[in-house]
Amino acid sequence: MNINQFTLWDITVNVVPGILTVLLIVLLFPLSIFNQFIDFATESGVLAVSIFLVVSYVVGRAFQEGISRKVDSYISELSDSDTYQSSVLYFIDEMNMARDDNQPRVRKIFLEEAQVKFASKDAESIDEVNQRLDDFDIFKLSQEYVIGNDLGRANRFMILSRFHRSIYVLSLFGVFGHIFVQVAWPILGYEIVLTQLQSAILILSLIVIGAVSFKERWFFEYKFVDSLIYGFCADTRES
């Protein structure tokens, strides 16, 4: 990818979590292998930095698209709380409440105007829409429209939600990984990179960071849906 094509999404969602993932993985290696990485980085200079950034981007993207998404989805399915549900489910809940709402609230206005905009080219009101779209289609079309036209802060909230998703899942794996090496490497005769105190500090830090990111992940997920609805309505009012 050309460096000029890098976006805020690439840096925040892929590169930064990728850098943290690579660093945590390197710290898991026995001390002898870790020292080889340090020697290579010291001798290679710019080349080592370039390789590190490229690997971080690839690892971060794979982690974000694969591991963090699956783990997050699994945690969401295990939870009985509506607090930990995806943006699609939260959006569908909002649309169901909009249908039952007799007041002209924003979500009801959004539901009607989105149906008019996406379901029929010729319709001017909701009463003229014969074949209506389901909530999932409205969500996807609205997302493409709002983010594609850079309306409101929906894109920013989506980026932050995905970033915190990767961070809390990475923290979870980091905790178990560093507990494992503290037990396994001495048994196998390997020397550990971090001392027990350093590992304890790192593990405690990962627990705190993971807990904060877990909460922020769902906060920004719901902020994304709210911004999607309000951004769409604001645009249709102005046009």
Q: Say how many C-beta atoms besides its own lie within 10 A of residue 131's C-beta.
A: 7
How many residues does the structure list for the chain?
A: 239
How would you write the pLDDT of the chain (239 residues) with one tens digit per residue? 445 456 888 899 999 999 999 999 999 999 999 999 999 999 888 999 999 999 999 999 999 989 999 999 888 888 766 677 788 888 998 888 888 877 778 888 888 888 888 866 655 555 545 567 888 889 999 999 999 888 889 999 999 999 999 999 999 999 999 999 999 999 998 999 998 899 999 999 999 999 999 999 999 999 999 999 999 988 876 65
Give ∠ CA 39-42-47 in degrees, rounded to 5: 110
Q: What is the pTM of this model?
A: 0.85
pLDDT score, position 204:
97
Handedness of CA 44, 46, 47, 52 (dihedral sign): positive
pLDDT attached to residue 156:
92
Judged by DSSP in three states, 6 sits in: coil
Answer whether 141's CB lies under 8 Å from 128's CB: no
Residue 1: predicted pLDDT:
45
